[in-house]
Amino acid sequence: MSMAWRTIFVVAALSALSACDRDGEPITDFMISPCIADPGKHIQAADWSKATTIDIRIRYDEFTPPLIRLKQNSPYVLRISNGDDTWRFFQAHDFFRTVAIDKLSVGKKDSAETCINVLVIPEQETAELRLVPTRDGEYSFDSHFFFNPLVPGFGFGGNIIVE
């Protein structure tokens, strides 16, 4: 990698990381897409006693499982654990803009955010989202944040299928 590209990459990385800890909340809404209108109606209609919990683990630059299947208009708790010794991103722009988020926490911190693009998960921490998928489709998730156009092959990911 040439010195010019290294400099661009470092500036981009520092810019991104500066957006990661907004008032102590390890999430970011950098370049946020519009979220669904009126998420409250989906959240109120959900029977949270029947919510399915899905555990996702990040370890050794890999998501396990890499494929997640959900049903539209059903409540879920996504629990994303970072088993690595460095911060990790869970980026799912298209997916997050089609779900109604009821509750979000990272580690022991609750967040009031209900419209996100990227979760920043500190090392050895867990993020938990209570959500309802509102639109069917196949959505990708990855750890790229926004570096992938600058550094091909940077990061790792998987897919979410909402039926």
Domain 3-162 has CATH 3.40.50.2300: no
pLDDT for residue 8? 46
| pTM for the whole structure | 0.76
Extract the runs of DSSP E, i.e. beta strands, from the chain: 27-28, 52-58, 63-64, 67-70, 76-82, 88-91, 99-106, 109-111, 118-121, 126-133, 137-142, 157-162
Per-residue tens of pLDDT for the chain, all 163 residues: 554 444 444 444 444 444 444 444 555 444 455 788 788 899 999 999 999 999 999 998 899 999 999 999 999 999 999 999 999 999 998 999 999 999 999 999 999 998 998 899 999 999 999 999 999 999 999 986 555 445 545 557 899 999 9
Alpha carbons 134 and 154: distance in angstroms, whole number: 30
Alpha carbons 121 and 89: distance in angstroms, whole number: 6
Domain boundaries, the chain: 3-162
